[in-house]
Amino acid sequence: MSSSPETGVGAVFDALADPTRRHLVEALAGDPATATALSASLPISRQAVAKHLDLLGRAGLVERRRHGRETIFELRTAPLVEASGWIDGVGAEWDERLRRLRSALS
């Protein structure tokens, strides 16, 4: 993550820059899970997974809730939709620029 705290789309991109965090997002896209369950599919400790989940939580991508003695992590898709919208907007701007360039060159 960058040295300055990011919010919104920037925080989402910072969080998703790490392949382990992308793996966790993909895993949570199926069903909510505990850090212990998530760590079973990774070559890192449960504690390391918990740290990644904390960062995903600060980016707004993961929500935690208690269920008895366990903490369940659940994916929040709204930040992903916002980031996707930003990407689509930038892509649309470039599409328009390229359209104008083609028109000018014709």
80 within some domain: yes
Q: Strand, coil or helix: what is 16?
A: helix
- Tokens in use for 49? 């997974």
44 within some domain: yes
Distance CA 35, CA 74 (A): 11
pLDDT tens digit sequence for 15-31: 999 999 999 999 999 99
Report how many domains make up the chain: 1
2 within some domain: no
pLDDT tens digit sequence for 35-79: 999 999 899 999 999 999 999 999 999 999 999 999 999 999 999
In this predicted structure, the answer to whether residue 1 has a pLDDT above a threshold of 70 is no
| CATH code for position 82 | 1.10.10.10
97 within some domain: yes
pLDDT of residue 22: 97
37 within some domain: yes
Distance CA 25, CA 80 (A): 10
Range of the domain at 95: 8-105
Task: Say which residues have a Cβ less than 8 Å from residue 48's Cβ, sequence separation at least 6.
Answer: 20, 39
pLDDT confidence bin for 6, thresholds 50/70/90: low
3 within some domain: no
